[in-house]
Amino acid sequence: MTLRTLDSLGDLSGRRAVVRLDLNVPLKDGVITDDGRIRAALPTLNALINQGARVVIVSHLGRPDGTPDAKYSLAPVAQRLSELLGKPVTFAADTVGSAATDAVAAQTDGDVVLLENLRFNSAETSKDAGEREAFAAKLAAFGDVVVSDGFGVVHRKQASVYELAKLLPSAAGLLIAAELEVLDRLTETPERPYTVVLGGSKVSDKLGVIGHLLPRVDSLLIGGGMLFTFLAAQGHAVGSSLLEADQIETVRGYLAKADELGVTIVLPTDVVVASAFGADAEHVVRPADAIEDTPFGASGLGLDIGPDTAAAFAEIVAASKTVFWNGPMGVFELAPFAAGTRAVAEALTRTDGLSVVGGGDSAAAVRALGFDDDQFGHISTGGGASLEFLEGKRLPGLEVLGWQQ
């Protein structure tokens, strides 16, 4: 089977389309701080509106633990979506209750309704398939077809992602189709040299993708908090830096495997070491094998790759034909420790080939640091989903749409 796309649903004029999106955007005091996921949904929504479909959007936001919580309301998203679409978006203050029922009943062709946060109902994420199916049936009552375009949740077996797509004719939206095209190129047909840059806090989150991609890449660059487990695996002291001691032997195995395959794993040669975690903490640059050689001693902690490493990483990235980057190089939210992440992001904009920012914190970082989306080949909307795809895992939200890896 192949992925079912919008074309497979036929003419949608006058038909009700329940559209599962990932509108899980960051909010601060009720204000959206990054609307990238909303903008990523626009091509599919405009395609449906232009056909005259009656669009019923469902999404989650945050983790409200199955009960309504005002700080996780999708109301600000409805307002921003209305601005971006240039037309009213009706917001229903519940998910499957009277407000949702009335809003859907009042729709005419081309109208858009956004239902309240799916996760205000515990059945959405229940481990009980029967509970999920019952909730999905209530959502299905609002539609004639289902369009699944929330790539950030396709690795989850949740009611609106999996069971709902089984109850009505269903297809992937344009965003999921685009994400899969890019990920397929990364795993099956990458142009070389092919470089993968991995960062973020925990090496355990990335072990699967390292193992799956090692035979496929030319260079693997390691930054972020995970770099300290790699340094420890080489026998270096890392002070109070983030360390997963239980992963040291596994990392040693990957270093040996890379050697065997002829893949270059590039580790930092210098690190920005701070006296404490904070923007105003005293900090110095030290060689990666001398992290404790500071006035802070063993209490010092590494919070970014150093300038020599940033320059070396940037050179490799800019010279590559295919680059996949997932995870910041340091604590980019704190200005003194953002330089490594900025250097990698800037190098990606100079890549003469396919440059992919792998969602999650990486996508947030490039926007927070002032880069525009169109400076990169592709910015994924799903960090976890991208990684699981690149690990070769089965993703239930894609399989239910006919996709087979």
Distance CA 285, CA 31 (A): 37
224 is catalytic: no
The predicted model gives 328-333 an average pLDDT of: 96
Backbone angles phi, psi at 15, to 5 degrees: -100, 155
Q: Which CATH superfamily is domain 6-178 in?
A: Phosphoglycerate kinase, N-terminal domain (3.40.50.1260)
Domain boundaries, the chain: 6-178, 190-390
Instruction: Check 80, 202, 216, 393 and give the catalytic one.
Output: 202
Burial of 279 per CB tally in 10 Å (0-12, 13-18, 19+): exposed
384 is catalytic: yes
Distance CA 149, CA 161 (A): 9
321 is catalytic: no
Instruction: Check 173, 360, 382, 397 and give the catalytic one.
Output: 360
Torsion of CA 278, 280, 282, 283, to 10 degrees: 70
Instruction: Check 97, 278, 384, 402 and give the catalytic one.
Output: 384
In this chain, the answer to whether the domains covering 6-178 and 190-390 adopt an identical fold is yes
Instruction: Check 37, 132, 157, 342 and give the catalytic one.
Output: 37
CB 64 within 8 A of CB 120: yes
Question: Can you give the pLDDT at residue 240?
Answer: 97
Provide the percentage of residues in the chain whose pLDDT is more than 70.
100
Compute CA distances 294 → 272, 276, 289, whole Å: 11, 13, 12
H or E element in which residue 221 lies? strand 219-222
Which residues sit in the known binding site?
A: 22-24, 37, 60-63, 119, 156, 206, 302, 333, 359-362
297 is catalytic: no
The predicted model gives 215-224 an average pLDDT of: 96
Is the pTM higher than 0.75?
Answer: yes
The answer, yes or no, to whether residue 405 has pLDDT greater than 70, is no
Tokens representing 200 are: 């973020």
Q: pLDDT tens digit string along 54-99? A: 999 999 999 998 999 999 999 999 999 999 999 999 999 999 999 9
Question: Can you give the pLDDT at residue 143?
Answer: 98
Classify domain 190-390 by CATH architecture. 3-Layer(aba) Sandwich (3.40)
Q: pLDDT tens digit string along 333-378? A: 999 999 999 999 999 999 999 999 987 788 889 998 999 999 999 9
Question: Can you give the pLDDT at residue 404?
Answer: 81
CB 325 within 8 A of CB 153: no
The predicted model gives 109-123 an average pLDDT of: 98
